[in-house]
Structure 1
């Protein structure tokens, strides 16, 4: 069994997914199906890691009033639950998915956190961190926390000689990338749009994406992964740069594929895999998640088959 991974989710969500033939604005829409899942980026990562057999601890902030949805998931997948409970309800994200895969998100307001809540998570994280342990910091920040909240957590990870994998966007990402060099995340996985927001410019060509990734590497980040949806993902490290493209898969939904990619990336980092192996495994995780409801992976053979079938193109 590999070493335990810690995931941190400061702004989790209950995902309510509603399937429709086609969304008609201003009209009554009849759903084909609906489901409710514990969600939030770090929770999704923890769930996929648990499916792979990785011992996982999940921490962050949860509303006490509807925590049972998360507790059911953690119990079922033997995820160590170290979430801090706050008064109130965790937010709900409504995903309206049409048959052609078009997804409309309606994210409801959630908990308002306080500085003391972040301090409590920080103390928990400090207790959980150990040398060489991987810590996944994922998702947005709840109302009430400053934009640089992740910097405090990154300093704790670095102080314990652990490695952080980060997947956030906007102001929290920009703030994290201004952290002291010693506290920068080991790996990050923005998508192209998130990277464009950080860079302040369009990144329309492979060369432009690679230049932005190399700019991040120059800050001191060991591994930069840029997900590009149907166009695959760019992986850049000291070993070089390569583009990974999963085999074509018919699917009605891409929900959760990015979080699955982070889980696969984390598994590869646990094993100190080379860049090509990392790209294949991360891409295999993401492809295997496509169309699968909830924060779940299929069986290991399916993931491994997709990883093996991933096409790799070297840059330079």
Structure 2
């Protein structure tokens, strides 16, 4: 009997084939991807700089926003540089270990993104429903612990993905029709039973996404009740305006995620594979691109800090004259 060890069952190298059917369009597709990635990097690094250096932004809401920016940076940086290498230089090879590492970072930080959006919803609930106790309830130790718990939740739930994927025997080639190593895209290369992978993936999606969406829904239900009970129309508008940026962030994050999740499971025969891949990339790239833009436009304190930074030298010059 011939004995096969794990190294013989796992391919040394995998091929990320980009967007199937649109290989001739890769160079054109790369331009919006690259532009959005640059905006995401500049915007989120700029937000982190402002939050760190501006004393007026040392508040719970902006600490959660800093968590979101860090998560966005890791999330898009784990996929887009490799995708651009595929589009521009046809560097499609990736080692099996690097593929597993990329899979871990992608799924951990998409879970982290969802968790931080949930924490930000709770932050808005406390700010609007308990304004006098806001800084007392959401103190720095609690913020740090909640952020750490959200990160550990993602790590502990995603680590099994790597073991479940590594244990499989791979004998269906090594070409992945994708721009990054998604859990099920890699598992489908196996000639073994991937039912456990599919069930566990669905369970994690429900545990993370389902729980976070439930908390966000409850938070905004309580917020809406509190806002409607305010006597002044101006007070209602002011209270709800503090939530608009966060609502936009939820929309940018969850709508592509839902489309990608449900189309992957229920629309495999009706939606072209290229559409699946493009939406999967937008799902990881759109929130990091739009979140700093939305918060920069919608949040007065951040807008004022940006204006002060850019207008500061002019003011100093005019003062000296």
* Bigger Rg over Cα: 2
**Structure with a larger share of its residues in helix:** 2
Q: TM-score of the superposition, structure 2-length normalised?
A: 0.24
Bigger RCO of structures 1 and 2 (CA < 8 A, at least 6 apart): 2
Q: TM-score of the superposition, structure 1-length normalised?
A: 0.24
